[in-house]
A and B are shown apart, each in its own frame.
Chain A
Amino acid sequence: MFFTSEDFISEFGFAITTSLWMIVGIAGIFAIYLVFSAAFAFIYSLYAKGKEAKGFGSLKTVTFGDESAVVANRIASVLGVVTLFFLWGLATESKLLPFSLPGPFNGTSQFEYTAKNAAGEIDKGTVTFRVSKQGEEVEKLEAPATSEGFAKDDVLMLLERRSKILKAQNNDEGGKNEGYTITEINGQPIKADDVVTVEGADVLFTKRGSFSVRPAEGMTMEALFLPPPEKVWSTFIQLHNEGYQGVSLWENVFWSLARVVIGFALGCLFGIPLGYAMGLTGWLRGWFDPIVEFMRPVPPLALIPLIIIWFGIGEQGKISLLFLAALWIMTIAARSGVSGVNISKVHAAYSLGASKRQILTRVIIPNSLPDIFTGARVAMGVCWGTVVAAELVAAEKGVGKMIIAASKFQLTDIVIVGIIIIGIIGFGIEVLMRIIEKRLIPWKGRG
């Protein structure tokens, strides 16, 4: 048996079902986002109607299917991002917006229950509850004055989105006697496990006869899951000023970048000559081919456990991991740079009197630069992704370390700041590499 778990079918079935629901949820959010897009597109089309398009492209009658006629509309880009922030704010009760989705219940409400005592008499009691934000200063509800009848009133203090259990009969006369039962909530007959929705809360009548009061959650996200944008911004400012756990934000960024740069540089230092060697001699190509082809598809992250066993969690471990991440990419890039040289160029150089050494330095190396640069761009991207992941496993400093440490205290805002910074830096690396590429090898793709 491949699948030793006897519950495999049900386990797998459960995974499929929950995934399906998740997909439905994602599709729903995406649909909302698309509706915004469509609405803006409509408004934009009204705005653009009278305006005359300029340039050669505007004279094209065939644009559908002509890839060159599809140019990213920068207005759409800006609106797309703004909408994203708008929806984010809307779902998190952002103070930046004058309105938002209905939030969780906050305030005081009550419901009434009907009880029957052992003697068969019937009486009504009132449960008053007050829901407040975490950390919010509110007046405690006072214990109710004694009322007539055997069912005494109760009070309950709640936090937003946090349920609490109340055993209402505890203070009732004869409430602990056998035969004492609660029969109704707000006049609605109940039995065990029934849920009654009252103003401001859902009340579950448990098997043991208590009320589990769950305050209404509203439609917004709890800050624990997704803090509002302004909170993330203020966290960023705070991190910028004070750092986190004694390490400043930029020190974390610096350490991550330093690891990437050193690991990448080492990868180039060894990978490029290795690639050249593999491109130039059949023996070395044969010698290293199995290793390179085997190591290339192994994701660097899969090596983390081994690296930790070998080098511990110090810097050597992380740098050697990044070195391995960059090494194979650079080797393959350099090798294909050598293989890609047009034989005419080599022949031409030989018949102009070049020696082997001159062929290497003046033809093969410059000719391989475009391929090496493409490899370098990929390697930088992979290294950046790998360093963050490696820091998640073990590090003292670094952006990845910052977010994993924050996640342990459920400081979602710091996690989100970290993710945004990681994204921006990754994007920045790519842009920088492109600029350098344009400067250094303007002939790329035009040979």
Chain B
Amino acid sequence: MSGLIIDDISMTFELPDGGKVEALKNINLNIKEGELLSVLGPSGCGKTTLLNICAGFLAQSEGQLSLNGDLVTGPSPKRGMVFQKGALFEWMSVRKNVSFGPELKGMPKAEMNEIVDHLLDVVGLQDFKEKAIYELSGGMQQRVALARCLANEPDVILMDEPLGALDALTREKMQGLVLKLWKETGKTIILITHSVEEALLLGERLIVMAPRPGRIHKEYNLPFAEMGVGADLREVKKHKKFGTTRDEILSMIWDMEEEIMGRTESA
């Protein structure tokens, strides 16, 4: 069995006051190799919990998940992660950050340098190789994060709102970069986002999650990621189906938020 298989996973947190929160309930997902999956949902629907379980940072309460037949029991370099921000190592140069994974593996220096050079070329940071992390802009830092993750040759890349902290223009550029990397490397990518447009653009498959308990509400198969590779993303957004799907999902999430608000008000 290849790919990432999420088999009937539930996650229940116990609160200090004895209560219980069902963060995830009976999640079933089968992510094929090379698939680009985006996950969308209102805050509190368990998106990040799901990703942390995939990464191996959290242990699910029930169910199991496996990557290419191996059960997931903890973090592993096979499942790379890109965070929203603050996960780069400020005390290292850009080059050192990118070569962090290969170096831990004990890769020979020449080979490592080749990989780093190549990846920095891909993300467009060749000129910033020796710069310190704090000298880079937010967008550049996320490029470094992507390169660092790719340098480790993971089977799956887990992205936790990787573009969430960027401004609109930088974000658009980075979306193009993510699509390019996906196509060039053929990696499986799971991307969590708050932005409906981003989920549509960067999802071959898109799942919308609903809160309380966190569950998969709806699933879409979309053509936009394929269309967007190497193309102008703004043109993709003008596509008619893009608009209708976006509106549909927006009102779906709107209703969920309304429901939550209603509940808290009546409580």
Contact of A358 among B87, B88, B104, B149 (CB under 8 A): B104
Q: Do residues A353 and B83 form an inter-chain contact, with CB atoms below 8 A?
A: no
Bound-state Cα–Cα, A362 to B101, Å:
12
Bound-state Cα–Cα, A447 to B90, Å:
6
Report the stretch among B14-22, B74-82, B193-201 that lies at the interface: B74-82
B81 — which chain A residues lie within 8 A by C-beta?
A: 347-348, 351
> Can you spell out 8 A-B residue pairs with CB atoms less than 8 angstroms apart?
A348-B148, A349-B100, A350-B74, A351-B76, A351-B77, A351-B154, A352-B80, A362-B89
Within 8 A of A (CB), among B55-100: 55-57, 74-77, 79-81, 83-91, 100
Q: Do residues B152 and A353 form an inter-chain contact, with CB atoms below 8 A?
A: yes
Q: Do residues B132 and A345 form an inter-chain contact, with CB atoms below 8 A?
A: no
Bound-state Cα–Cα, A193 to B85, Å:
83
A441 — which chain B residues lie within 8 A by C-beta?
A: 91
Tell me, rounded to whole Å, the shortest Cβ–Cβ distance linking B81 to chain A. Answer: 4
A288 close to chain B: CB less than 8 A: no
A218 close to chain B: CB less than 8 A: no
Bound-state Cα–Cα, A367 to B91, Å:
8
B116 close to chain A: CB less than 8 A: no
Q: Do residues A353 and B77 form an inter-chain contact, with CB atoms below 8 A?
A: yes
Tell me, rounded to whole Å, the shortest Cβ–Cβ distance linking A368 to chain B. Answer: 11
Within 8 A of A (CB), among B113-156: 132-134, 148-149, 152, 154
A363 close to chain B: CB less than 8 A: yes
Q: Do residues B87 and A443 form an inter-chain contact, with CB atoms below 8 A?
A: no
| Contacts beyond the supplied A351-B56, A366-B91, A367-B91: 16 A-B pairs with Cβ under 8 Å | A344-B84, A347-B55, A347-B81, A347-B83, A350-B74, A351-B55, A351-B77, A351-B79, A351-B81, A351-B158, A353-B76, A353-B104, A354-B104, A366-B89, A442-B132, A443-B134
A253 — which chain B residues lie within 8 A by C-beta?
A: none
Within 8 A of B (CB), among A220-264: none
B239 close to chain A: CB less than 8 A: no
Tell me, rounded to whole Å, the shortest Cβ–Cβ distance linking A355 to chain B. Answer: 8
B105 close to chain A: CB less than 8 A: yes
Q: Do residues A353 and B86 form an inter-chain contact, with CB atoms below 8 A?
A: no
Bound-state Cα–Cα, A347 to B57, Å:
7
Bound-state Cα–Cα, A441 to B92, Å:
11
Contact of A348 among B56, B87, B104 (CB under 8 A): B87
- The secondary-structure label for the interface of chain A is helix
A347 — which chain B residues lie within 8 A by C-beta?
A: 55, 57, 75, 81, 83, 87
Tell me, rounded to whole Å, the shortest Cβ–Cβ distance linking A28 to chain B. Answer: 51
Tell me, rounded to whole Å, the shortest Cβ–Cβ distance linking A130 to chain B. Answer: 76
Tell me, rounded to whole Å, the shortest Cβ–Cβ distance linking A279 to chain B. Answer: 18
Q: List the B residue with the shortest CB-CB distance to A365.
A: B91
A342 close to chain B: CB less than 8 A: yes
Residues of B within 8 A of A (CB): 55-57, 74-77, 79-81, 83-91, 100-101, 104-105, 132-134, 148-149, 152, 154, 158
Contact of A344 among B80, B83, B101, B132 (CB under 8 A): B83
Bound-state Cα–Cα, A433 to B210, Å:
53
Bound-state Cα–Cα, A342 to B158, Å:
18
Contact of A443 among B90, B149, B152, B158 (CB under 8 A): B90
Residues of A within 8 A of B (CB): 342, 344-345, 347-354, 358, 362-363, 366-367, 369, 441-443, 446-447
Tell me, rounded to whole Å, the shortest Cβ–Cβ distance linking A360 to chain B. Answer: 13
Knowing A347-B57, A352-B148, A353-B152, the reply to whether A446 touches B134 (Cβ < 8 A) is yes
B100 — which chain A residues lie within 8 A by C-beta?
A: 349, 352, 362
A350 — which chain B residues lie within 8 A by C-beta?
A: 56-57, 74-75
Tell me, rounded to whole Å, the shortest Cβ–Cβ distance linking A265 to chain B. Answer: 23
Q: Do residues B152 and A342 form an inter-chain contact, with CB atoms below 8 A?
A: no
Q: List the A residue with the shortest CB-CB distance to B145.
A: A348
Bound-state Cα–Cα, A347 to B58, Å:
11
Bound-state Cα–Cα, A115 to B233, Å:
117
Bound-state Cα–Cα, A350 to B72, Å:
14
Contact of B86 among A344, A351, A352 (CB under 8 A): A344
A344 — which chain B residues lie within 8 A by C-beta?
A: 83-87
Q: From B84, B89, B101, B154, name the one whose CB has the most chain A CB atoms within 10 angstroms.
A: B89
Q: Do residues B86 and A345 form an inter-chain contact, with CB atoms below 8 A?
A: yes
Tell me, rounded to whole Å, the shortest Cβ–Cβ distance linking B142 to chain A. Answer: 13
Q: List the B residue with the shortest CB-CB distance to A441.
A: B91
Bound-state Cα–Cα, A446 to B158, Å:
26
Bound-state Cα–Cα, A447 to B100, Å:
18
Contact of B89 among A345, A351, A358, A446 (CB under 8 A): A345
Bound-state Cα–Cα, A345 to B148, Å:
12
Bound-state Cα–Cα, A369 to B133, Å:
16
A363 — which chain B residues lie within 8 A by C-beta?
A: 89
Bound-state Cα–Cα, A363 to B87, Å:
10
Bound-state Cα–Cα, A353 to B132, Å:
23
B104 — which chain A residues lie within 8 A by C-beta?
A: 352-354, 358
Bound-state Cα–Cα, A349 to B88, Å:
9
A366 — which chain B residues lie within 8 A by C-beta?
A: 89, 91
Tell me, rounded to whole Å, the shortest Cβ–Cβ distance linking A58 to chain B. Answer: 28
